[in-house]
Amino acid sequence: MKKQVSLFSALSFCLLLGWIVACSEKEEPTPEPTQLTATDFVTQLRAPIGFSLDDKGQLWVTEAGTGKNDASIVLITPQGTKTTVATGFPSVISNGSIEGMSHPLYKDGKLYVLHGISGTLYTLEVASFKSGDAAQSLASIKKEDVGTYIRSLNLTTPVNSNVFDLTFGPDGNLYIADAGANAIFKRDKTTGALSLFAKLPDAATKVEAVPTSITYDGTKFLVTTLSGFPFTAGNAKIYQVTTDGAVSEYKTNFTMLSHLTLSKNNKPIAIQLAEFGPTGFVPSTGKVIDETGKVLISNIMMPTDIERSANREFYILSYALGTIQKLSY
């Protein structure tokens, strides 16, 4: 009997000890940010539009260039070292801004890059590319015409297309947000065929939605919108799109949203490009906000992309200043 009691006591002790160790090793929950602090990371980028983080902590950045057909893709290491991956993409100056390159997306050794004004999807093989390597030849990069199909659907009057951002869905297909057609398109992972996935409603009467980013949060797509001219405060929205393509409003009453990322807890963290005044975009009126509209940091100069890099850290890009900053809390 004593032996049985001893064995039972020993077993109970082991189970209790294991529970204590498991509890002590359990990761503490990460709180949502209430305020962010910015530190400089990279400067002297040429009208950067977007970036994508790979599994090595490297950033793949698209630069619009100077408007002289010199748009580029740049690799930035976690230490801030820059390497040109490819250059010579079309870029033009339109209405005082430099246009051409759109957002990139890294996955499994490939970089998918949209080019808005030419309606092109580029696919770069970058699994073996490293900092310091020679730039890839533009002629060797795979490209697909996506603009012709989109324009053929006549979704806007006048017909317009500006493929701007992209993400992968749970089915492995690529989903493309078009800021000109105000719609989301699906690219089949096997055939590359395009199809209309969702059409966004106008932001207000005779005011186009203008989608600027698309993210899949594990259950649905979230799409930020700039809202069209005159860029009225409160017109921008975050839409949610089901995997069947049904569109509804997720959160409203924003101003000129230019991108979105997800917190550690899968909550949207969005950026406001700027406020629009009588003479145009008001300098340093960009912001980072949560899904309720709470301002996490202000006085940002025309941010066009944000991505979470750690539990409590984000990268944010300024198109106007040509910089990337780290945001932390």
Question: Could you tell me if 203 and 209 are in contact, meaning their C-beta atoms sit under 8 angstroms apart?
Answer: yes
**pLDDT tens column, 128-176:** 999 999 999 999 999 999 999 999 999 999 999 999 999 999 999 999 9
Q: Is 103 left (phi over 0), alpha (psi -120 to 50) or beta?
A: beta
Residue identified by tokens 């009467």 is: 205
**Sign (positive or negative) of CA dihedral 272, 276, 279, 280:** positive
Q: Of 251, 258, 249, 213, which is closest to residue 231 (Cα–Cα)? A: 258
**pLDDT tens column, 172-209:** 999 999 999 999 999 999 999 999 999 999 999 999 99
Tokens of 202: 């106008």
* Rounded Cα gap, residues 228 and 236, in angstroms: 9
CA angle 97, 318, 142 (to 5 degrees): 70
Within the chain, where are the H helices?
2-25, 147-152
Predicted confidence at residue 6, as pLDDT, reads: 47
Query: In the predicted model, is pLDDT for residue 9 greater than 70?
Result: no
Paired sense of beta strands 48-53 and 59-63, if any:
antiparallel
pLDDT-derived band at 25 (thresholds 50, 70, 90) equals low
